[in-house]
Amino acid sequence: MKNAPSSVYCSNAVYERPTLQMDEKGWRGADLIFDIDADSIPTPCKATHAWWYCGDCHRGGMGNKPGRCPFCRGQAAAQMHWSCRECLNATKEHVKRLVDFLQDDFGIDGQSIRLYFSGNRGYHAQVQDERFEMADPQIRAEIANYIRGTGFSLKVQDRVSGRAELGWNRRANLYLAATEGASHLKKNQKLTNQIVAANAALIDESVTTDIHRVFRMPGTLHGSSGLLKMRVDSLEQFDPQKQPVVLSGEPVTVQVYYSPEFFLNGMRFGPYDSSKVKIPIYAAVFLLARGLGAVINN
């Protein structure tokens, strides 16, 4: 309690003796888990709001990170991404697709799928279904690849057979029916790629294949944002820039080194460049957790 941790995690695995060393714990199964991050969803707007920050001289700029920091000539410039509304909505769309795969293709009951906001800019899904608990990494990799559409190949001829289509074939046929002109395209790789891009959920496969992964614990703050990892009951109504803001709105004076504009709790902050500002504590923590500023003691 004297030294509050910046992050709290818990494992997706169940162990017989969880307090012992890793090889003595006795693995008894693990929840099937998924991670979707805004960073990994390709959105056309990304290039317009990419920025970089130099950890050495605490300065930054918009665009892709330079090889050397133009201010101090050091090599500590890091690429930064903050998500805009469009990026956040695209991420939600991928979560919806994931839930659709889990329910429709894997027959998982909606009640067994728990969705969480990660506390940063992504979502976690945790499946509590005993059919998957004992699945080894290989099985989990197959599930992940299926959901990402890896290796999907188009079989348009199935469409005329009149059979009820399932899985990826159903998605492919819906795409072809909805996309005017797509039927004129050849069954080539380009069309396959389009169908996959329109339907796949870009989950992080390294998370799903892990049978002893630690996930941020729901109800705790994300160490790099000060936002809450929280259960999401209604994806439609959830605003990742609002509900997870749980810290105080009391004002505090901060020297902000650099920050593009960002939105929290319905308010716009920044852009800042060597600015002394009075902002709510939740916005200050959001910046300080990334080393972008320091509190000024009055």
Under the binding rule (CB under 5 A), the answer on residue 38 touching Zn ion is no
Under the binding rule (CB under 5 A), the answer on residue 172 touching Zn ion is no
Of 13, 33, 38, 54, the residue at the interface with Zn ion (CB under 5 A) is: 54
Question: Does residue 271 have a cis bond before it (omega within 30 degrees)?
Answer: yes
Min separation Cβ 79 and Zn ion, Å: 14
Under the binding rule (CB under 5 A), the answer on residue 87 touching Zn ion is yes
Under the binding rule (CB under 5 A), the answer on residue 32 touching Zn ion is no
Min separation Cβ 48 and Zn ion, Å: 7
Of 30, 32, 36, 69, the residue at the interface with Zn ion (CB under 5 A) is: 69
Which window, 37-45, 107-115, 183-191, 206-214, contacts Zn ion (CB under 5 A)? 37-45
Closest CA to 222 of 126, 123, 127, 128: 123
Nearer to Zn ion by Cβ, of 78 and 246: the residue is 78
Binding string to Zn ion for residues 187 to 226, with x set by CB under 5 A, is what?
Answer: ----------------------------------------
Closest CA to 144 of 212, 213, 201: 201
Nearer to Zn ion by Cβ, of 46 and 96: the residue is 46
Which window, 10-18, 63-71, 97-105, 255-263, contacts Zn ion (CB under 5 A)? 63-71
Nearer to Zn ion by Cβ, of 32 and 87: the residue is 87
Which window, 23-31, 71-79, 112-120, 167-175, contacts Zn ion (CB under 5 A)? 71-79
Token pair 């460049």: residue? 273
Under the binding rule (CB under 5 A), the answer on residue 84 touching Zn ion is yes
Token pair 């105080």: residue? 248
Which window, 15-23, 25-33, 36-44, 183-191, contacts Zn ion (CB under 5 A)? 36-44
Under the binding rule (CB under 5 A), the answer on residue 82 touching Zn ion is no
Under the binding rule (CB under 5 A), the answer on residue 15 touching Zn ion is no
Which window, 50-58, 186-194, 242-250, 271-279, contacts Zn ion (CB under 5 A)? 50-58
Integer Cα distance of 198 and 171 in angstroms: 9
Of 56, 104, 109, 261, the residue at the interface with Zn ion (CB under 5 A) is: 56
DSSP the chain: --S--S--EEESEEESSTTS-GGGS-EEEE-EEEEEEGGGS--TTHHHHEEEEETTT--EEESSPPSS-TTT--S-EEEEE---HHHHHHHHHHHHHHHHIIIIIT---GGGEEEEE-SSSEEEEEE--HHHHT--HHHHHHHHHHHHTTT----GGGGGG-PPP-HHHHHHHHHHHHSTTGGGS-SSHHHHHHHHHHH-----HHHHT-SS-EEEPTTSB-TTT-PBPEE-S-TTT--TTTTT--S---EEEEEEEEE--EEETTEEE--EEEEEEEEEHHHHHHHHTTTSEEEPP-
Q: Beta partners for 228? A: 221
Of 57, 141, 182, 294, the residue at the interface with Zn ion (CB under 5 A) is: 57
Under the binding rule (CB under 5 A), the answer on residue 93 touching Zn ion is no
Nearer to Zn ion by Cβ, of 84 and 102: the residue is 84
Nearer to Zn ion by Cβ, of 88 and 113: the residue is 88
Closest CA to 201 of 41, 32, 31: 41
Contact residues: Zn ion, CB under 5 A: 43, 45, 54, 56-57, 69, 71-72, 74, 84, 86-87
